Chain A
């Protein structure tokens, strides 16, 4: 199987960038197809469940430190955040008990996406052993 590891050059961070933009996409670059699919399903499900539970998507310019922290956290979902921002998702007034859970689902999904993107990067540069069967 072709060695997909890179140690230098502009493409070395491509897995990190792709993984941030779309959950699991970084693992496609490293040819870990099943990991990519599972990560995509898990993170995407968590994020969209957060939206469906009327969670709040933090916007830029929140003002208070917690809102800024929430915004930085939500940015970790990459393309999903852009879709939510453009589509006006996650901006409704929180009126149901599980909406707070939805907000947490959104932030955690975004942070998990960052973890997954970093994992793809580590596989790409050889810092993490392949351990391939997935």
Chain B
């Protein structure tokens, strides 16, 4: 079985899995875990989007 995701789909999957682990391991209470996990997810995806546009501007 082999999958070929788009680059952005790969980013979303990676961010989701990593954020779950970071949220659980880096915080103590449930509320803090959820908040931190969401913040990590937003950061992952946001940085990729910003970096992508920067690369686009550099290229063009």
Map CB proximity to A onto B4-44 as digits: 1 under 8 Å, 0 otherwise.
11010010011011101110110111101100000000000
Task: Tell me what chain B mostly uses at the interface: helix, strand, loop, or mixed.
Answer: helix
Cβ of B1 under 8 Å from chain A = yes
B10 contacts which of A41, A45, A98 (Cβ < 8 Å)?
A98
Count how many chain A residues have C-beta atoms less than 8 Å from C-beta atoms of the other chain.
Answer: 31
Task: Tell me what chain A mostly uses at the interface: helix, strand, loop, or mixed.
Answer: helix
Q: How far is the CB of A109 from chain B (nearest CB, A)?
A: 7
A115 touches B10 (CB 8 A): no
A133 touches B17 (CB 8 A): no
Q: How far is the CB of A48 from chain B (nearest CB, A)?
A: 9
A52 touches B3 (CB 8 A): yes
CB within 8 Å for A134 and B33 given contacts A43-B17, A115-B21, A116-B25: yes
A101 contact set on B, CB distance < 8 A: 5, 7, 10, 14
B residues at A contact (CB < 8 Å): 1-5, 7, 10, 13-14, 16-18, 20-22, 24-25, 27-30, 32-33
Other A-B pairs beyond A46-B17, A115-B25, 7, CB < 8 Å: A39-B25, A46-B14, A52-B2, A97-B4, A101-B14, A118-B25, A130-B28
